[in-house]
Homo-oligomer: A and B are copies of this chain.
Amino acid sequence: MPNSKKTTTGSVSLDPLAIGIDIGGTGTKFGIVDRNGNVLFSSEISTRGHDEVESFIDELHNSLNALIEKSGGPGRIRGIGVGAPNGNYYTGTVEYAPNLPWKGIIPLAKLIQNKFQLPAVLTNDANAAAIGEMMYGAAKDMKDFIMITLGTGVGSGIVANGRLILGHDGFAGELGHTITIPNGRFHPGTGKYGSLESYASATGVTLTAIEMLEKNDTDSLLRKIPKGKLDSKKVYEAAIENDQLAKDVFEFTGKILGMALANFVMFSSPEAIILFGGLTKAGELILKPTREHMEQNLIQVFSNKVKILVSHLKESDAAILGASALVWEMKD
């Protein structure tokens, strides 16, 4: 096992491992992780295409079993940590997650525990990523930071005084659903108007591009893309080809994101905001307007104090690492 630094060969006593699972709106990533944060084996399945959560867990079980066998069998696995949108650490349930196919209250930790016959613990996917960043990434040694995941949706994990803010009920940190533009864009998953997620997610970027293409008739590379095929990646590709409309899409997205970040700063005054996920690949195209508009909306006492950092962890790793870190904190 060349990937594992701490495996003792020629002995039955092998260091325990943890499984980390990151359930996203589009894909579910998972890996087997050692105590030092090395992801030994990892893979991915689609979250979509399973109307029933049981069928999703069946597929997850099949895929993970292959990795478990490679790692030395279930006896080496200490437990399973799961990050999922609207995941609740206290109850182990996923409740009314707008971006997942399963509605209502899903006892996800229990279902996984029963299927794998291993102890399982659950938290919000972005909380898991924040723990991953704090233990192994850009937030190492920070006691006050906010992690924002810019993927299919917008998630967040907030750390203050060195601890995750879970809130009274375990659901704190739903910053993607804060209202940034009152009476703004409709979010079909929540039924609310003007949330950060409706603008600053991959979906939001695509919608902004469609709106801008419809609103005026300036030339744009994006007009060549068939309707229904346009996505945030294509907007990015056009923007680096210097397409003005595509650049305007990121400028607009950064403006709204920056304004929202200013509000978050005035809440918990973090040392840094760590951005993570697909949209951060647009680099300065989105970071520059985000920084500018954050500063523009901050009162003087916060001016030029708060760093905006992009996660350096491999995209899938932060959440897998964070989820797996939950396992080491489990009681025996």
List A residues at the B interface (Cβ < 8 Å): 86, 95-96, 98, 143-144, 158, 160-161, 163, 165-175, 177-182, 190, 192, 259, 262-264, 266-271, 297, 299-302, 305
Contact = CB atoms under 8 A, between A and B. Distances in A.
Given A182-B181, A182-B259, A259-B182, A269 B299 contact: no
A263 B179 contact: yes
A72 to B, nearest CB: 38
Residues of A contacting B: mostly: loop
Nearest to A197: B299
Contacts of A259: 179, 182
Nearest to A195: B299
Contacts of A179: 259, 262-263, 297
A32 to B, nearest CB: 31
A223 to B, nearest CB: 29
Contact of A96 (B158, B161, B168, B299): B299
20 contacts: A95-B300, A96-B301, A143-B168, A144-B168, A160-B167, A161-B165, A165-B267, A167-B269, A168-B270, A169-B269, A173-B269, A174-B267, A174-B301, A174-B302, A179-B262, A179-B263, A179-B297, A180-B182, A192-B297, A267-B268
